[in-house]
Chain A
Amino acid sequence: QKEVEQNSGPLSVPEGAIASLNCTYSDRVSQSFFWYRQYSGKSPELIMSIYSNGDKEDGRFTAQLNKASQYVSLLIRDSQPSDSATYLCAVELNTGNQFYFGTGTSLTVIP
C-alpha cells in the first residue's frame, strides 16, 4: 500500500463549478498535510496546508481533513481554466521532515 493515494483522474469540470480532489494516507499518526499545484513543465507550488481536523478555507480553496478516516480533500470553488493543473497531496510522516506525495490528480477546467 502506498503512503499517499490519489485518484489520478483526469477530472474535468466546467468553468464555475466546484472541483473536488481526494487523498487518503496510510500513516495513522501523520500530523501535517499539504496540497500542491503543478502546472505542466513546472515545479509544485504550495496551495494550502492543514494540520487539524475540519475545514480550512483560503479564497476559493478549502482543505478538509479527517484524521479518523485518514482522508484529506481539496475543494476548488468557482473553478477557472487557470486552475487546470495536476494537484498533489503530500503528507509529512510522524518521524518529521519526510514528506510523501501522491501521484497527483489531473484537473481540467473547461471554459
Chain B
Amino acid sequence: KAGVTQTPRYLIKTRGQQVTLSCSPISGHRSVSWYQQTPGQGLQFLFEYFSETQRNKGNFPGRFSGRQFSNSRSEMNVSTLELGDSALYLCASSFGGRGADTQYFGPGTRLTVL
C-alpha cells in the first residue's frame, strides 16, 4: 500500500508571498492532519480534516488554512509568509475513527522563507 505523499518536497519563498502544500493520504484514510516542525518548538499541530471538514484546530494564526477534497487529499495554505514560517511541514493520515487511531506521516515539505 502506498504511503502518505507530499508535494512539493522543497520550497523557497520570500516574505509576503503565499504558498500551497499538498498531501495525499494512504488509501482508505479519511483523516489528514498537518503539523509544523521547527528545531525550537518541535512538532506543533496545525489542524485536522475529516470528510472535507476541519474537525480540530491548533493555535496558529489565520494565515494558516487548509482544505480537504472528496478524495481525502488535503492542501494547506500559508498567506503573507513570515521568516518564522520556515519549517518542515508534515502531514499525517489515519482512518479518523474516534479513539485508538494511528497516524502515519508523509516525507514532509521543507519551506524556506527568505
Which residue numbers of A lie inside 8 Å of B, CB to CB?
Answer: 31-32, 34, 36, 42-46, 49, 51, 88, 90, 92, 95-104
Are A98 and B43 in contact, CB atoms less than 8 angstroms apart? no
Are B43 and A32 in contact, CB atoms less than 8 angstroms apart? no
Q: Does B102 contact A (CB under 8 A)?
A: yes
Are B101 and A43 in contact, CB atoms less than 8 angstroms apart? no
Cβ contact of B42, chosen from A32, A45, A96, A104, cutoff 8 A: A104
- Neighbouring A residues of B101 by C-beta, 8 Å: 32, 92, 96-97
Are A51 and B100 in contact, CB atoms less than 8 angstroms apart? yes
Contact indicator per residue, chain B 37-62, by CB within 8 Å of chain A (1) or not (0): 00001111100101000011000000
The chain A residue sitting closest to B98, CB to CB, is: A96
Are A46 and B42 in contact, CB atoms less than 8 angstroms apart? no
- Docked Cα-Cα span, A88 to B108, in Å, equals 16
Are B96 and A97 in contact, CB atoms less than 8 angstroms apart? yes
- Neighbouring A residues of B96 by C-beta, 8 Å: 97
Closest beta carbon of chain A to B111's beta carbon, Å:
14
User: How many interface contacts (CB-CB < 8 Å) are there between A and B?
Assistant: 63
Interface of B is mostly: strand
Are A43 and B43 in contact, CB atoms less than 8 angstroms apart? no
Closest beta carbon of chain B to A83's beta carbon, Å:
19
- Neighbouring B residues of A95 by C-beta, 8 Å: 56
- Docked Cα-Cα span, A5 to B94, in Å, equals 24
- Neighbouring B residues of A101 by C-beta, 8 Å: 35, 42-45
Q: Does B90 contact A (CB under 8 A)?
A: yes
Given contacts A101-B42, A104-B42, contact A43 B102 (CB under 8 A): no
Are B48 and A97 in contact, CB atoms less than 8 angstroms apart? yes
Closest beta carbon of chain B to A102's beta carbon, Å:
7
Cβ contact of A99, chosen from B42, B45, B88, B108, cutoff 8 A: B45
Are B102 and A46 in contact, CB atoms less than 8 angstroms apart? yes
Given contacts A95-B56, A99-B33, A101-B43, contact A43 B98 (CB under 8 A): no
- Neighbouring A residues of B104 by C-beta, 8 Å: 46
